[in-house]
Amino acid sequence: MKSRMNDLFKEQRNIHVLYSYEGREEYLEKLVDFVQSGVSAGDYVIVIENQRIYRILEQKLSNRISEEQMKLVRWVNNFDFYFSSGSYHPPAIYDYFVNTVQHFVDKKLPFRSWAHVEWATMDGPLHIVEDLERIVDNSVHQLDFPLVCAYEGAKMPDYLRNILLETHPYILVEDQLVVSEFYKPTLNG
């Protein structure tokens, strides 16, 4: 994943990727590779993740990247991120993200982001996930940065899986980025 993602990000920065993972070890391996490849390329890496997994990530990175590179890694608590307004509300999430990255945008600093989307259950109103992913897809193009959205495959009902395939132009499959044949660009984006 390291070289393939970095090669693709050099060619095109505005890449929105769906990563459906199966199991914690696989997930952590991909997350470590994403962060390590990002800081090696000189990018700031924004990791939207829960505290427990972020602490494991820090431990795994401690012997793989330098202290100076670790300063390029920024953690955002994913619970605070997705529920900053008290509920999963796409405009509030978007505002939170824009506030998070505004410094990088203003200073023209390269950055990439990894967002772990997780819930205890996926039984809620899933159409709001589509709303957010469409907003995010537009942002990736406007702000010119790579974003990986990670969802646990076992917790995705078919309806959500279809939404995600339609809102992400790329899918991470093993160590390859595959173009989604189901992607439907937003008309106003």
pLDDT tens profile 14-59: 999 999 999 999 999 999 999 999 999 999 999 999 999 999 999 9
Residue 149 inside a domain? The answer is yes
pLDDT at 177 over 50: yes
Would you say residue 45 lies in a domain?
Answer: yes
Residue 189 covered by a domain: no
Residue 113 included in any domain: yes
CA 183 – CA 180 distance, rounded (Å)? 5
Q: Is residue 153 part of a domain?
A: yes
Tokens at 125, concatenated: 């109103």
Average pLDDT, whole number, for the chain?
A: 89
Main-chain dihedrals φ then ψ at residue 84, nearest 5 degrees: -60, -25
The number of folded domains in the chain is 1
Is the residue at 186 inside a domain?
A: no
Assess if residue 184 is contained within a domain. Answer: no
- Beta strands in the chain, from DSSP E residues, in sequence order: 16-21, 44-49, 73-77, 111-117, 147-152, 170-173, 176-179
| Residue 86, both tokens | 């008290």
pLDDT value of position 188: 56
pLDDT tens string 126-165: 778 899 999 999 999 999 999 999 999 988 889 999 999 9
Structural domain harbouring 148? 2-179
Which DSSP letter does residue 65 get?
S
CATH of the domain at 86: 3.40.50.300
